[in-house]
Structure 1
Amino acid sequence: MARLFGTDGVRGVAGRDLTAELAMELSVAAAHVLGDTGPKRPVAVVGRDPRASGEFLEAAVVAGLASSGVDVLRLGVLPTPAVAYLTGALGADLGVMLTASHNPAPDNGVKFLARGGLKLADKVEDEIERRLGEQWNRPVGSGVGRVRDAYGEADRYISHVLTTLPGRLDGLDIVVDCAHGAAHMVAPEALVRAGARVEAIGARPDGLNINAGYGSTHLDRLQQVVVSRGADLGLAYDGDADRCLAVDHTGAIVDGDQIMAVLAAAMHAEGRLAKDTVVATVMSNLGFKLAMRDAGINVIETAVGDRYVLERMKSEGFNLGGEQSGHVIMLDHATTGDGLLTSLHLLAVVAGSGRTLRELASVMTPLPQILINVKDVDRGKASVPELTAAVAQAEAELGEAGRVLIRPSGTEPMIRVMVEASSQDQASSVADRLAEIVRTACA
């Protein structure tokens, strides 16, 4: 039987894969695993993004928790990092976020957080899954949990992210794309309170339009509005606002690698970058790594996934890390990737330096990168001798100005071929050649 928990909670099409019954059962099991607090009654916070299905899933989750004897604070629509922060700030024993991040509206997910707003370890998720449907003694009378709305706690989160800023953002003219998602209220409010002039787009969720043509996976509109308005820059979040991408005043995209490079360089110059190191994944652009090397900053690589970045940061005491997709973790201020926090600190560098985002982002030059997903192959054959020899030949051909990454999919019969090179033509040529070898050698 396949594992129920994926890389970021339990996801699926709401009402078909992720039913109200499953959401309730998951919450009961999570209450038994995470809510064992001894004599005191456990407390949970529950937040969601604006998806229509979040309404019935929230009701199911709250019912499961309260019927298990857990007091519930219902936060309403808030970003995932806000729920993570409030789990810790309110002293809750667990947090629950209902979201499918950048996925389309029909999808949804249940994500659990431990005390302090921390992501769960695999073994804890496995224990929750193991206890699904088990027999248990149901509390009655005064033993059942109580439920109350705590929508005003959004301001506590806004105040928190603003207190992390070194200065105000007065004079900056920005456009922010909220993906019709969880940040549609808190992000514009925080940016305005920080001093910026703000035009918000993708800020009218109707439950069905989340990520539809807006947000960090659809930057076209943001680019157009920034250029037509003559704004200084634009920011884009995904549906649950745990990631952020940007565009400069010309409409050019500034991705997660470039954002990390700007933040790392600024923190390094101010002596705030722990151990002069930033944590990235194997998918980060080689241009990022070369730029960090030239700036005297170490780069440590992890497997793909912000949870692996976070694990490495926590275990070795680093305070900045992230992914090309815009998941940036600033561990001095947050326990997870936080799009709003990231964007505020990026803006603070712009405001404090007096330079444009385009100038700041030029600290790194992204190398052309080609990614080919070779489907319907045996992912277990990703290290066969024929392919290993071809990769070695390609690496010798590319030299220090390029690299090759062959990565089997964790969930599908697919092998990913990624090639970076000094030119687009060379990257495409090498990637096509390796993809063809994968098709024949890994069939």
Structure 2
Amino acid sequence: MGRLFGTDGVRGLANADLTPELALTVAVAAAHTLAEQDHSHPPVAIVGRDPRASGEMLEAAVVAGLASAGATVVRVGVLPTPAVAYLVAETKADLGVMLSASHNPMPDNGIKLFAPGGHKLPDDVELAIEAAVAAGGAGWRRPTGAAIGRVHDLLDGADHYVRHLVDSAPHRLDGLKVVVDCANGAASGVAPEAYRQAGAEVIAIHAEPDGLNINDDCGSTHLESLRAAVREHGAALGVAHDGDADRCLAIDATGAEVDGDQLMAILAVAMREAGALTADTLVATVMSNLGLRLAMAREGIRLVETKVGDRYVLEELRASALALGGEQSGHLVLPAYATTGDGVLTALHVMARMAATGRSLADLAGVMTKLPQVLINVRVGDRTVAASVPEVLAVAEAAEAELGEKGRVLLRPSGTEPLVRVMVEAGSEDAARAVAERLADAVRAASPAT
């Protein structure tokens, strides 16, 4: 068996790659690995899903697997991923399971697991679960009779989560008009309700999930309809969520996109002014725009960079007890209120900043200027060699010297494909593209694709 867990759980085409049999086995393995360490009570597992049709099938398999391992299963229904993480922590459950493929198309699905406290699994626990799955259940305890797990429904989980979100907002949103694109996903109920309870006037679009329309030309990967709605309604901003609402992007009143880097910059400055930005430090990945680093340096905020992936941002936040981090994709983490990225929480805090200052989103986002960024995916024979041979490194060093402090070069082998990602930022689009093409040619020459 190959690596089961990707960067964000187990994901694949539902009923083909991700079958009910696999979902059941992963659930049993997770229960035995995570939830049986404390034998003072039957382990408790929270199970949620996004609205895609295959979630119903996979939920049944996961619930059966958990109950067969003796776990008490609490179904919370259709809720965002961060809501499931919150409820795991709030109820002191031993395990959380979220069925979602995030921004992926409807036919895909995934299994995201949360440890006690609502935290994502560390690598060693994922490896232990993979080993248990590979063993096929050998040696697993199979309870019988009264020891078999029971299944319950938590009917007010959404209410608890919305109350938590609204209570976290540092300022009321009265007077703000917002359009929210719910991606026909897991936030279709809770996001508009949270924004309304916080005081905003809300226009919700793509908030009628039918199991088949999640992420279909809507949400954070398709901003066109949100941009049009913001202009049509004269809204102060638009907020776009993905299928499981662990991220958000925004559209300002002029129709311009405000990405995760800009949202981080807005919140970092706001939190520093409020004395809430621990050590005046922001955590981002190496893929964040150089403009973010330049802006934070100007604002006296230290920027710590991690590898690509929200799990690495989370690890740094926890290890250093920091207060804000995220990714350019709009996956932001505020550890004071959430154990994982939360798009609804992010949007609430950005809107609270707008309401508190009376400034527009475009004005607030102007704290940073995005440098033109060119990304070329170069198909190669050996992705590791292609990114590290002396000839390629020499071209990269020359490019960095040419760009100086106002530009950046990043070579990153793909974790799953025979690709090297060449990313260049510069003062102009033409300059960035010229350097990127030159570097891409060097990578191709170093390890031609077969």
Structure 1-normalised TM-score? Answer: 0.99
Give the superposition deviation at 1:358: 0.4
Equivalent residue in structure 1 for 2:160, among 156, 163, 183 = 156
Deviation at 1:407, TM superposition (A): 0.4
- Residues 377 and 415 of structure 1 are in contact (CA less than 8 Å); yes or no, is this contact kept in structure 2? no
In structure 2, C-alpha distance between the alignment counterparts of 1:326 and 1:48, rounded to whole Å: 21
Q: Does 1:314 align with 2:318?
A: yes
Match of 2:53 in 1: 52
- 1:342-375 CA-to-partner distances (Å, cap 9, x unmatched) read 0000000000000000000000000000000011
Following the alignment from structure 1 to structure 2, what is the Cα–Cα distance between the partners of residues 146 and 179? 33
Instruction: Indicate the residue corresponding to 1:24 in structure 2.
Output: 24
Matched, 1:209 2:213: yes
Which residue does 1:302 correspond to in 2? 306
What secondary structure sits across from 1:131 in the alignment? helix
In structure 1, what is the equivalent of residue 423 of structure 2?
A: 418
Q: Does 1:141 align with 2:142?
A: no
- Structure 1 residue 209 displacement after superposition: 1.0
Once residues 148 and 316 of structure 1 are traced to their aligned partners in structure 2, the CA distance between those partners, rounded to angstroms, is: 38
Q: How does 1:262-273 map to 2 (within 5 A)?
A: 262-273=266-277
Q: Structure 1: how far apart are the matches of 2:431 and 2:300?
A: 29
Higher mean displacement: 34-43 or 261-270 = 34-43
Q: Which of 231, 241, 246 is 1:242 aligned to? A: 246
Q: Secondary structure at the match of 1:216?
A: helix
The equivalent of 2:190 in structure 1 is 186
Q: Which residue of 2 aligns with 1:338?
A: 342
How far apart are the structure 2 equivalents of 1:100 and 1:156? 24
Deviations 1:97-156 (A, max 9, x none): 000000000000011100010000111011111112123231111101110111311100
2: CA distance, partners of 1:332 / 1:377? 45
Q: Which amino acid aligns with 1:423?
A: S
1:75 to 2:79 alignment: no
Offset at 1:442? 2.2
Say which SS state the counterpart of residue 156 (structure 2) adopts: helix
Q: Secondary structure at the match of 1:151?
A: coil
SS of the residue corresponding to residue 284 of structure 1 reads coil
Contact 2:278 2:323 in 1 (8 A): yes
Matching residue of 2:113: 112
Contact 2:14-2:54 at 8 Å conserved across structures: yes
Unaligned 5+ segments in structure 2 are: none
Instruction: Tell me the CA shift for residue 206 of structure 1.
Output: 1.0
RMSD: 0.8
* 1:281-314 deviation line (CA, Å, top 9, x unaligned): 0000000000000000000000000100010111
In structure 2, the partner of 1:224 is 228
Secondary structure at the residue paired with 1:167? coil
Structure 1 unaligned residues grouped into runs of 5+: none
Give how far 1:436 is off: 1.2
Which residue does the alignment assign to 2:92?
91
Q: Look up the equivalent residue of 1:90 and give its one-letter code.
A: T
The answer on 1:15 being equivalent to 2:20 is no
Of 372, 389, 394, the match for 1:389: 394
- CA distance in structure 2 between the partners assigned to 1:157 and 1:64 by the alignment: 26
Aligned structure 1 segments of 4 or more residues deviating by more than 3 angstroms: none
Distance 2:351 2:90 in 1: 25
Aligned-residue offset at 1:242:
0.3
Task: Report sequence identity in percent.
Answer: 63
Q: How many angstroms does 1:14 deviate by? A: 0.3
Name whichever of 104-113 and 33-42 sits farther off: 33-42
Q: Give the SS at the match of 1:3.
A: coil
- Is residue 2:432 matched to residue 1:432? no
Q: Structure 2 counterpart of 1:219, which letter? A: L
SS of 2:283 mapped into structure 1: strand
CA contact (8 A) 2:380 2:447 kept: no
Which residue of the partner structure matches residue 324 of structure 1? 328
How many Å apart are 1:171 and its aligned residue?
0.4
CA distance in 1, matches of 2:306, 2:16: 34
The residue type paired with residue 205 of structure 2 is: I
The aligned residue for residue 412 of structure 2 is: 407
The TM-score, its normalising length taken from structure 2, stands at: 0.98
**Which string of whole-angstrom CA distances, capped at 9 and with x for unpartnered residues, describes residues 144-193 of structure 1?**
11101113111001101111112210000010001111000000000001
**Distance in 2 of aligned mates of 1:353 and 1:108:** 41
Partner residue of 1:275? 279
Give the partner amino acid of 1:134. G
Deviation for aligned residue 1:194: 0.6
Give the counterpart letter for 2:439 in structure 1.
L
Deviation at 1:28, TM superposition (A): 0.6
Tell me the alpha carbon deviations over residues 373-416 of structure 1, each in whole angstroms, 9 at most, x when there is no partner: 01143111111011000001111111111000000001110000
Q: For residue 220 of structure 2, give the secondary structure of its aligned residue in structure 1.
A: coil
Match of 1:353 in 2: 357
- Give yes or no for the alignment of 1:42 onto 2:43: yes
